[in-house]
């Protein structure tokens, strides 16, 4: 699990992250965590959909243009800082902002699930 966490932290693209999510045995838990955080702000996601990433991107795009405060609330709930968004944007300036945010949300939710699995029996 620790190796997976290190690998997760070194990924910088949605494609790589999606592949890791597909390969991970924890993908259902990650998707459930994403669904939980989005639903707490009345943003519905169908985690059974193969288009989950594009659904997330659509919500984020709408929030970016229509309700930035709500987007900041979502990012706070997920525990994402603006400095992480800025750092990824600097790493890949061509990545659209909605993709940067989507990537970081998925990455952070994967970290949460992996940490829970890593430490669930230790405490």
**DSSP string of 23-44?**
H-TTHHHHHHHHHHHHHTTT--
Query: What is residue 33's predicted lDDT score, i.e. its pLDDT?
Result: 92
pTM of the model: 0.81
Higher pLDDT, 4 or 105: 105
Query: What is residue 16's predicted lDDT score, i.e. its pLDDT?
Result: 75
Number of H helices, E strands in the chain: 7, 0
Q: Which two tokens stand for residue 83?
A: 């400095």
Name the residue ranges covered by the structural domains of the chain: 33-43+52-123
């Amino acid at each position: 699990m620790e190796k997976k966490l290190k690998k997760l932290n070194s990924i910088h693209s949605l494609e790589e992250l999606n592949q890791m999510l597909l390969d991970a045995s924890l993908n259902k838990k990650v998707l459930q965590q994403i669904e939980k955080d989005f639903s707490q702000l009345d943003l519905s996601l169908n985690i059974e959909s193969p288009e989950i990433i594009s659904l997330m991107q659509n919500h984020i795009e709408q929030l970016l243009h229509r309700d930035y405060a709500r987007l900041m609330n979502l990012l706070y709930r997920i525990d994402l800082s603006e400095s992480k968004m800025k750092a990824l944007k600097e790493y890949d300036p061509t990545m659209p902002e909605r993709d940067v945010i989507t990537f970081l949300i998925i990455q952070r939710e994967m970290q949460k699930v992996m940490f829970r699995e890593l430490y669930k029996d230790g405490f």
